[in-house]
Amino acid sequence: MNVQAAHLPGLDLKSVPWHTLTFGEGTQRVDLGVPKLTPEQLQTLARHVRTQGGAQIRALSVTQIIAAIDRAIARLLDAQNAYRQQLDRLLPLITGFDAEMVRLGLNAYLKTFRAPQLQRFVAEDFANPKLLDEFQPRAKGGMARALGPELLVHVWAGNVPGLPLWSLVCGLLVKAPAVGKTASAEPLVAALFARLLAEVEPRLADALAVVWFKGGDTESERALYAEADTVLAYGGNETLAALRQQLPVTTRFLPHGHKLSVGLVSAAALDAQHLAALVRAAALDVVRYEQQGCYSPHIFYVARGGRVSPREFAQALAGELSALQHKFARRTLSLEEAASVAGWRQGQEFIGQDGSVELIGDAQASWAVAYAEAAGPLLPCALNRTVQVQAVAALEETLPLLAAQRDFLQTVGIAASPEELHALAEGLGRAGATRICALGHMTAPEAGWHHDGRFSLLDLVRMVELEQSAEDAAEPYARYRD
């Protein structure tokens, strides 16, 4: 099966050479064609999107853009739609993730881009969304207008299917014509969405392009980045640091790098009545997309003093991970991933020689839980359903441990009483957390969340202020002057 994963408005497709990315094997093999553009073609494409696409998208109101995105998303939520069927068929083969996990995950994710959610998304950053359409009065006097980038370049990672839609939609909402560079690990979703959006709203056909080139192709990178005034990028910290060095000093750079997330369980939540639902929620956060997202938990700190002990929580979590393997089978690991999991297990066994760590789950299991009676620092696990559970006397004890990873801490999933929740929230924020949610919701952020604590839309715009002094000074020249 050969599918083209690109959207290249303004280019003669006959002149485009294609490179094949192969996923799977045998009857499960998928060949994706990705464009192998020359630097000159990349430059031509970027300029077309900036000029033609920029004129197209700026002619639409934010309300019209939201309506177009909503129509495209409605089709992707329709199981009978050809685009959705293509995603359901190909994404499991491309990513290796369980097909049912992908289907359910896509449904939950896509629903955050329906019109009501997008309207809330815009309202979250703009008290008056019409700032994105035209100059609006300001309470202090004068007027203001929010303008998106002349050309926004997205650089996407491929660890979680559909991840590009987040920044892609953000760019559309601020009327930024954009070129997105997909990752080799998952180049399909962004390209498919761009083609679908062009179908449902032809006036946006030239406002978005989706390309591919190998990381480290400095000539292609230089050609594309030179045309952009804003670059929004996802990836490892080293990759982002290298990218920053390539950008002109005047280019706005919005990086999203490596992050760590954690779960907290209060003694108040630990009783027989709540245990089953609690460990199922925690296990789902571990299993979804095999902890590849920045919001996936690496460790659960569990308080003593409940009717269920932290060790019993760890055992119940292990049981739930085992049960979920039958519903959402873990994907086949690469040699590197398998070696990482084996190395992590060996490390936990070595640490536990003195009895301080108990490794639950044998080497053949598709999951592993490392339980410790004493809390240690927040460190990454090996992903792919490996997780730590550590006991603490009280959840407040975790704050210094989390603060030590302030630069990397992102999501905290929590199960606690209302009093504990609100008492901890301030400390968690000061420790570096940018998102606090319920267990079971760690891997499903709400529409409009502030990714890594930043404004998803405000970070993309520049404000133009028309001061009251200019309006006052214009009055003597009015045709209606006295």
| pTM given for the model | 0.93
Which ranges in 174-306 belong to alpha helices (H)?
Answer: 188-200, 218-225, 237-246, 272-287
pLDDT digits (tens, 9 = 90+) for 71-89: 999 999 999 999 999 999 9
Judge contact between 208 and 170, C-beta under 8 A: no
pLDDT digits (tens, 9 = 90+) for 120-150: 999 999 999 999 999 999 988 999 999 999 9
Res 219: pLDDT? 92
Average pLDDT value over all residues in the chain: 94
- The 3-state DSSP class for residue 25 equals coil
pLDDT digits (tens, 9 = 90+) for 11-68: 998 899 999 999 988 888 999 999 999 999 999 999 999 999 999 999 999 999 999 9
Give the span between the Cα atoms of 64 and 7, in whole angstroms. Answer: 22
Helices 164-173/62-76 angle, 10° precision: 150
Q: Find tokens 């006097």 and name the residue.
A: 141
pLDDT digits (tens, 9 = 90+) for 142-194: 999 999 999 999 999 988 888 899 999 999 999 999 999 999 999 999 999 99
Mean pLDDT for 104-133 is 94
Pairing status of strand 357-360 against strand 368-372? antiparallel
- For 34-43, 427-436, 471-480, which range has the lowest pLDDT when averaged over its residues? 471-480
Mean pLDDT for 338-343 is 95
Pairing status of strand 230-234 against strand 368-372? unpaired
Token digits of residue 410: 């992102």
Res 217: pLDDT? 85
Q: In what order do the strands lie in the sheet with 2-4?
A: 2-4, 30-35, 18-23
Helices 82-95/99-110 angle, 10° precision: 130
Residue in 166, 125, 151 with CA at minimum distance from that of residue 207: 151
When pLDDT is cut at 50, 70 and 90, the band that residue 296 belongs to is: very high
Judge contact between 66 and 170, C-beta under 8 A: no
Mean pLDDT for 291-312 is 96
When pLDDT is cut at 50, 70 and 90, the band that residue 481 belongs to is: low
How open is the CA angle 227-58-52, to the nearest 5 degrees? 50
In sequence order, which residues have a C-beta less than 8 Å from that of residue 7 and are 6 or more positions away?
A: 191, 194, 195, 198, 208, 209, 210
Which ranges in 80-143 belong to alpha helices (H)?
Answer: 82-95, 99-110, 115-125
Which ranges in 333-477 belong to alpha helices (H)?
Answer: 335-351, 398-403, 418-431, 468-474
Res 482: pLDDT? 62
pLDDT digits (tens, 9 = 90+) for 283-294: 999 999 999 999
Mean pLDDT for 302-327 is 96
